[in-house]
Amino acid sequence: MENSVRTAPCPPTALATDLARLSEILGGLPIGIAALDPDCRIVFMNKALEDLTGFTSHEAAGIPCHHVLRCGLHLRGVRQVETPGRGDEPVKGRETDIIDRHRHKLPVRVTRIDVRDEQGVAFMFLEAYEDLAPLRDMERRLKDASGAGELISRGEAMERIKKVLPAIAQSDSPVLVTGETGTGKDLSAQVIHKASPRARGPFVRVNLGPMPEHLLEIELYGRVAEEGEAVPGCFQRANGGTLYLSELADLPAAHQAGLVRVLDDQTIIPAGSDKGVRVNVRLIAATHKDPEELVRAGVLREDLFHRLGAVRVHLPPLRDRGEDVEFLLTHFLSRFAARFKKDIKGFSPRAIRILRSHCFPGNVRELKNIVEYAAMICQKDMILPAHLPGHILAALKADQSPASGRPGDNRGRKRS
């Protein structure tokens, strides 16, 4: 404080002593505090602001504030510095960004108060800087949990499933998610993770689709440093969180046996090592095939199926979800219209008839893609048949042909 008082031209001596006391008190506050003189030079900064800016109070004393407090408040417009007490609006809880010691933008909330003498003349300004980064981070996490990652539905089939997901999330058992492609297996796994006590841990997604054996081994269990650079496997990357393995049926039998061992003792052995590494991972596996049939065909090991299948979530195809189709069409249309900044009010009766009669072999993914395409090319306030992708109209025509014997309804068609 001594040095800060030294460079402040205005405060009377009594105040200098007061400031020394004040800085001692302000030093312990978790928000950044700066005192400025009437020329907007730094008089002192407390510890929190020193940590944020990377300047000590001693270094900053006497320097024009915009060199140290590099935020919108001090670097805006023609006047460069918004001068306190000279006709500018009062600064009370103003949200802006400040450049921190690492040259990163940090969101802050700034409040400024005038310190006045007996005549009411402001001779000093105190500014408080609240770090909003933790708040923004929490807002982002809440948005992720309830916004983009939400399973949208209205029909009974999905509502029933959504009701049991929170209970599944609370248990730590492995889960097997089944359902055709695009029914939301990956999304359901994310929902389970986000609602579970592991939500703060990582969610790691691995596609077990075709991969050479030796790479699969490394992808699953990692590699120790002796064989080159150490590579953490997906179990290590997911430590403390959830590992989502899609396309379980593509996992070769030898690796399935390894997976059973990991599920039993939560220990992995990285390639190039003979030492086990303990991991704390919840496993969610998925397949778009019928797991019982896979066991019968010898593709899925029975012991793995029993460990994974104790908790099962089966997502029905979209064609069996009744009112979900229209609900999802409306939901995605409002989302994409907003994203493309278009004022599209809905679907024309004919467009909705066509969509209603489509079987959506790609399920929700296909529906979402169709709406995205239609919203992108639509220049009217309504989605018309002409805005729908060609394959929908072609499928409709094929179904309407006399040879099909099904005039205009292709809902019963299953994905091949």
Ligand X SMILES: Nc1ncnc2c1ncn2[C@@H]1O[C@H](COP(=O)(O)OP(=O)(O)OP(=O)(O)O)[C@@H](O)[C@H]1O
185 near ligand X, judged by CB under 6 A = yes
Interaction residues for ligand X, span 245-264 (CB under 6 A): 246
**What x/- string results for residues 114 through 153 when contact with ligand X is judged by CB under 6 A?**
-------------------------------------xxx
Closest CA to 286 of 176, 188, 208: 176
DSSP result, 107-167: EEEEEEEEEE-TTS-EEEEEEEEEE-HHHHHHHHHHHHHHTTT-----SHHHHHHHHHHHH
Burial class (CB in 10 A: 0-12, 13-18, 19+), 343: exposed
Rule CB under 6 A: is residue 236 a binding residue for ligand X?
A: no
Find the residue with minimal CB distance to ligand X.
Answer: 184
Q: How many Cα atoms within 13 Å fall on the side-chain side of residue 305?
A: 18
Cα distances from 178 to residues 108, 126, 306, in angstroms, run 46, 60, 14
Q: Is 368 in the site for ligand X (CB under 6 A)?
A: yes
Establish if 364 lies at the interface with ligand X (CB under 6 A). Answer: yes
Q: Do 308 and 178 touch, CB atoms closer than 8 A?
A: no
Q: How many CA atoms lie within 13 A of 264 on its CB side?
A: 9
Any contact of residue 289 with ligand X (CB under 6 A)?
no
Say which DSSP state 408 is in: T
Residue 365, interface with ligand X (CB under 6 A)? yes
Name the minimum Å distance from CB 156 to ligand X.
14
User: Should residue 74 be labelled a site residue for ligand X when binding is judged by CB under 6 A?
Assistant: no
Binding of ligand X by 316 (CB under 6 A): no
Determine the size of the site formed for ligand X (CB under 6 A): 16
Sheet with 312-314, side-by-side order of all strands: 203-207, 242-246, 282-287, 175-178, 312-314
When binding is defined by CB under 6 A, the residue of 3, 83, 111, 181 that contacts ligand X is 181
CB of residue 289 to ligand X, shortest distance in Å: 10
- 334 scored as a contact of ligand X (CB under 6 A): no
155 contributes a contact to ligand X by CB under 6 A:
no
Q: Considering only residues 130, 186, 326, 409, which one is a binding residue for ligand X as defined by CB under 6 A? A: 186
Q: Is 41 in the site for ligand X (CB under 6 A)?
A: no
Query: Which spans of this chain sit near ligand X (rule: CB under 6 A)?
Result: 151-153, 179, 181-187, 246, 288, 364-365, 368
